[in-house]
Amino acid sequence: MNINQNKILIVDDDSSIRFALTEALRSWNYESVSAQSLAEARQVFETEEPKVVLLDIDLPDGSGIDFLSEIKQEQPEAIVVMITGNVDVKNTVAALRGGAYDFIGKPVRLGELQVTLQNALEIGSLRREVKQARRERAERFGFEQIIGESSAMKKAIELTKRVAASEVGSILLHGETGTGKDLFARAIHSASERRTAPYLAINCAALPANLIESELFGYEKGAFTDAKQRKEGLFEQAQGGTIFLDEIGELELGLQAKLLRVLEENTFRRVGGLKDLPLDVRVVAASNRDLKAEAEAQKFRLDLYFRLSIIRVDIPPLRERGEDILLLAKHYIEKTNQKRGAKKLRGLSKETERIFLNYKWLGNVRELRNVIERASILEDGETVTTEHLPADLIGRNSSETNEKNSNFILPEEGIALEEVELILAKQAMERTDGNLTRAARLLHISRDQLRYRLKKE
């Protein structure tokens, strides 16, 4: 149901009250409809879809409290102001618990009603704006924005969705630089019960240790020379929400110990502070290094690693995601097209597709995005050709291809060519998760040719 932004429903069995309220609303430039019973009110509410309901409690065929419950169940955003000549504590409590905005006694003072309506409509407008902003944020940062059809990526996304919906307090994201750990962290927050609270992020590699501590925990006035006044840290600002600690492996050991205490006790202390403050945040940490190996090498606290990795999500590198590479390339082409206006790319050339699928992508998704951005500027045609690919990408791909060719050694006893074809066909099927079309594309043959070779096993 879409609420009518201008209409107010008056529900009262007294015709003189309905008339007086109708005239008052008209003079205040509100449109109104009315009903004298619950049965009529239900019908009018359904057909007219009012934004505000002025609802009498005592009606001939039932209680307005019951109708209030129905309204809130059907349309939670509707504003209901209860009106009654019998103001008592029981009715007031029941109405407010049921979701009524306010409670006005009879005889109705029109000045009070006008102010009540103005305030209610302003609050309603703010609620809609907040709801819209949350919806847009969820769409912008939700799991739908993470592109991937490979089995490795689907596995990571499915695990992360389950974690996001849980109450687990700390999550560790592990993946190479550029794999999209920040997108996963945002999606976790957007899909969690904490999505209406703040999401704050800090790159632990970007600031020196003394500044990171004050950024995370805040400080008291006079804690150090430049501390002119108290400052809230990110943990304090993120109360009820999520804090993303990117590149947490860069934290010095002393600060790791303080972070461990915060996670264990759910309290923190500002720099220079004397008391512990309660904390309610979810911590999502990320690292491009294997923190368990770092801990075993005594470069990271093992106890902090175990505390952070209650759930560990391994985000696969782009080179292990098969034709996700082409999906992402298409996505970034569409995004660059939105910026370029009339000059648009339609896709990749066949040779570019081959190079993209064979390239190692050490910079992962970030590197792919930059390659597409470069091509969108330099290309004159409608496809991304090899002419404007970075020399490093083409050179490395060529050398790797030659290396693969030179490393293939024919066994001394020989091998049937059909057996080699079958081995390669199976590898292509494994890489593409059993997709015949994509596997055939990797082998530069038709789908039917691939099917024929597989049947010869």
- 0.85 exceeded by the pTM? no
Q: Please give the pLDDT value at position 131.
A: 64
Tell me the per-residue pLDDT of 408-439, one tens digit each, with 9 for 90 and over: 556 667 778 888 888 888 888 877 767 788 78
Average pLDDT over residues 38-57: 90
Roughly what angle, to the nearest 10 degrees, separates helices 64-74 and 89-97? Answer: 10
pLDDT over 70 for what percent of the chain? 90
Q: Please give the pLDDT value at position 396.
A: 55
Q: Please give the pLDDT value at position 97.
A: 81
Tell me the per-residue pLDDT of 159-174, one tens digit each, with 9 for 90 and over: 999 999 998 999 999 9
pLDDT at 5 over 90: no
Tell me the per-residue pLDDT of 363-391, one tens digit each, with 9 for 90 and over: 999 999 999 999 988 888 889 988 888 88
Q: How many other CB atoms are found less than 10 A from the CB of residue 140?
A: 11
Q: Between the ranges 140-149, 205-214, 305-314, where is the mean pLDDT highest? A: 305-314
Average pLDDT over residues 294-298: 91
- Distance between CA atoms of 224 and 211, rounded to whole angstroms? 12
pLDDT at 276 over 70: yes
Average pLDDT over residues 80-86: 84
Q: Please give the pLDDT value at position 210.
A: 76
Which residue in this structure is represented by tokens 């550029």?
178
- Distance between CA atoms of 199 and 130, rounded to whole angstroms? 16
Q: Contact, 117 vs 124, CB < 8 A?
A: no
pLDDT band at 406 (very low <50, low <70, confident <90, very high): very low
Average pLDDT, the chain: 86
pLDDT at 136 over 70: no
Average pLDDT over residues 213-231: 85
- Distance between CA atoms of 324 and 148, rounded to whole angstroms? 5
pLDDT band at 255 (very low <50, low <70, confident <90, very high): very high
Report DSSP letters for 18-85, one per residue.
HHHHHHHHHHTT-EEEEESSHHHHHHHHHHH--SEEEEESEETTEEHHHHHHHHHHH-TT-EEEEEES
Selected residue with higher pLDDT from 71 and 5: 71
**Which tokens is 113 given?**
């009603």
- Distance between CA atoms of 179 and 205, rounded to whole angstroms? 17
Q: Please give the pLDDT value at position 452.
A: 80
Q: Please give the pLDDT value at position 397.
A: 52
- Distance between CA atoms of 344 and 383, rounded to whole angstroms? 9
Closest C-alpha among 281, 313, 316 to residue 162: 313
Alpha carbon 323 to its chain's center: 24
Q: Please give the pLDDT value at position 204.
A: 92
Q: Please give the pLDDT value at position 48.
A: 87
End-to-end CA, the chain:
60
SS3 200: strand
Q: Please give the pLDDT value at position 102.
A: 87
Over 225-269, what HEC string results?
CCCCCCECCHHHHCCCCEEEEECHHHCCHHHHHHHHHHHHHCEEC
pLDDT band at 153 (very low <50, low <70, confident <90, very high): very high
Tell me the per-residue pLDDT of 90-118, one tens digit each, with 9 for 90 and over: 777 777 788 888 888 888 899 989 998 88
pLDDT at 3 over 60: no
pLDDT band at 399 (very low <50, low <70, confident <90, very high): very low
Q: Please give the pLDDT value at position 135.
A: 60
Average pLDDT over residues 188-195: 92
pLDDT at 1 over 50: no
Which residue in this structure is represented by tokens 């618990």?
97
- Distance between CA atoms of 183 and 142, rounded to whole angstroms? 8
Burial class (CB in 10 A: 0-12, 13-18, 19+), 86: exposed
pLDDT band at 137 (very low <50, low <70, confident <90, very high): low
pLDDT band at 454 (very low <50, low <70, confident <90, very high): confident
Q: Please give the pLDDT value at position 402.
A: 47
The torsion region of residue 433 among left (phi > 0), alpha (psi -120 to 50) and beta comes to left
